[in-house]
Structure 1
């Protein structure tokens, strides 16, 4: 007998007053972040917030995101080949409506949080029931959910899912989350540089020399608003040239984030002769520093090694502010490993609404999640 029930919400204003007490360890489940989504989610995304209850007591909070990828003109323009075309065909025709329990805009377990003493397997079963209710609601509005997925759980977390409750689901593993652990003995960026082997110290010096002439600025809300069009153009250039995309940010996303999060959301612009050539963003999340979206001018990126310099800047900030780790997420795996980030494997469950297709999810999945061949580096050995 499952003692838990659920409640679905479509607005932050509807959430229980004690919601943040459960989201205290993850800013991406807080009402502040959910407000960012409510005001500036991608246009092809619909978010719901899920409360889990034991009687009248809130014992769990969760996020769901419904994506209609048919609303996108492109899934990414970088790779043009037969396999990519086949993947896009499969996605548009058999997986274009996806319901995530979790956050498709981030990497890591940002799906749910539970109270201490909660029976987590039963709470996850209740979360599955809530997801099924959302599927029925979307279907009643003419939007059939093709794929239901629970995403980005680590090895311990995925073991808490009851196999009997999720036996109809396909368990998968995606590209790893790249996480940089900050050595507790490092007090300055120089300590990090000293820890690098000669090869990677030379890489650092070469990148920093290339960055001569670039001015880095910490940008406030008024600065972000003043450069909003340029910021979006720089972001969109990077996003559309990624190997795969299921959404594009709203143009007001960064300014909305800054207005709500203030000093917890960091925005740095990179300029040459007053012209903005790139930016990066970070979010303070307890003892973790989460890197977020960035953008750059491709010609400047090549000439100035801009992306690599951004990674070094984020590491320097994480050391200076004494964060324990920097979450670099799952893109550009090799270059992130070259600065010291290590891969953390993540897992998920997915189920197709078509029973026949669901039986073949192990064969279909490689087309939905393109495999990335890369070589891991270790700059400290």
Structure 2
């Protein structure tokens, strides 16, 4: 019997079929309006494609892919000094520099694809694997050899869908968890959250708030984001280059394009000291979820004013006020996010290397180059 599933690869959001957004309704991060942002302001070393999967003529699956060229980066991150950092950088540049990803490397969570409830999930994933081969052919014709293919970020239940022969060569791995903050139904204002904290963490809240009393927090308009673009980028870059591992850096126009495209669904908050921008954070409204996005700050002031912690409290206050169900705090800074009440959700990915010898030892290389993060979960609530 002839397989009725097929795929189509699109290089621009303008090419997407009319029915695309009917499937993308579950998340803003696969909607046409968001994919335009990826197209207009993706990192310099990243190129995006969009995949439609059809059962006969009907669109039953949508996905986003990103090709990342690590050779275009000056640094992968400053966490590990000395020999280990040198080895890691050398390995990535020579053997893993061209990565083809089904998913979104700028976000945490399952933003890779959506499958229609009426579709056969196994057949859609088999077709998605064929689309990966089609993408590899596109890049081969451009003179770019794909070293690694990956899919991210899935919870344990979602991972079970990949138990099919097509994905047998792929290594299943987990990295830092996604930190999720659930807003309780009985919280109507920030004070309700503070009242739920144990004394130790209520004292932490009061201390942080006191430290930042002279800072002014303001939501920036598109024009203000454009006016402050250089300062914003410097603050962002300072934080980004200190991250454990980088596969990209955002372009300077990224936040302006975001605001222009998503408008009220994208919130940009600036923190000012004596009218000077010394930090910012960004939020994306995604249905009942509030997704945290990139931030930046002046490190000396951050420590003195406990700015990062205050940003987390501000996000919680906004989510409660606007009655969001949860805040997606993403990965990194696990302990401090845990201290404000976020809980870890274990995330999984899949990866495969084009070199069969390396692919057989992929587990070893992955564990050596990116060891498990050791951190202590906090329990800030009274109950």
Bin for the TM-score computed over the shorter chain: over 0.9
Task: String of CA shifts for 1:136-186, please: whole Å, max 9, x gaps.
Answer: 211221111111001101111111113322111111111100000111110
Match runs of 1:356-367 below 5 Å: 356-367=357-368
Query: Deviation of residue 114 (structure 1)?
Result: 1.3
* 2:141 equivalent to 1:169: no
Match of 1:150 in 2: 151
* 2:31 equivalent to 1:47: no
Task: String of CA shifts for 1:77-110, please: whole Å, max 9, x gaps.
Answer: 2431332222222211111110010001000000
Secondary structure at the residue paired with 1:216?
strand
For normalisation by structure 2, the TM-score amounts to 0.98
Match of 2:329 in 1: 328
Contact in 2 for aligned 1:178/1:337 (Cα 8 Å): yes
Secondary structure at the residue paired with 1:16?
coil
Query: Deviation of residue 38 (structure 1)?
Result: 0.4
Match of 2:231 in 1: 230
Query: Which runs of at least 4 in structure 1 moved beyond 3 Å after TM superposition?
Result: 367-370
Match runs of 1:294-313 below 5 Å: 294-313=295-314
> d(CA) in 1 for partners of 2:109 and 2:184?
21
Match of 1:197 in 2: 198
Q: Which moved more, 1:38-47 or 1:120-129?
A: 120-129
| RMSD over equivalenced CA pairs, Å | 1.0
Contact in 2 for aligned 1:78/1:240 (Cα 8 Å): no
Q: Which moved more, 1:72-81 or 1:214-223?
A: 72-81
> d(CA) in 2 for partners of 1:370 and 1:178?
19
Query: Deviation of residue 371 (structure 1)?
Result: 2.8
> d(CA) in 2 for partners of 1:166 and 1:18?
28
> d(CA) in 2 for partners of 1:2 and 1:254?
43
Query: Deviation of residue 370 (structure 1)?
Result: 4.3
Match of 2:216 in 1: 215
Match of 1:265 in 2: 266
- Shift in CA distance, 105/149, structure 1 to aligned 2, threshold 3 Å: same
Match of 2:16 in 1: 15
* 2:267 equivalent to 1:280: no
> d(CA) in 2 for partners of 1:93 and 1:65?
19
* 2:338 equivalent to 1:337: yes
Query: Deviation of residue 43 (structure 1)?
Result: 0.2
Secondary structure at the residue paired with 2:162?
coil
Unaligned runs of 5+ in 1: none
Contact in 2 for aligned 1:60/1:112 (Cα 8 Å): yes
> d(CA) in 2 for partners of 1:92 and 1:158?
29
> d(CA) in 1 for partners of 2:342 and 2:320?
14
Task: String of CA shifts for 1:20-50, please: whole Å, max 9, x gaps.
Answer: 0000010000001100000000000000000
Query: Deviation of residue 368 (structure 1)?
Result: 4.6
Match runs of 1:54-73 below 5 Å: 54-73=55-74
Query: Deviation of residue 116 (structure 1)?
Result: 1.6
Contact in 2 for aligned 1:90/1:367 (Cα 8 Å): no
Secondary structure at the residue paired with 2:256?
helix
Contact in 2 for aligned 1:170/1:351 (Cα 8 Å): yes
Unaligned runs of 5+ in 2: none
* 2:39 equivalent to 1:38: yes
Contact in 2 for aligned 1:86/1:367 (Cα 8 Å): no
Q: Which moved more, 1:81-90 or 1:151-160?
A: 81-90
Match of 2:184 in 1: 183
Query: Deviation of residue 349 (structure 1)?
Result: 1.1
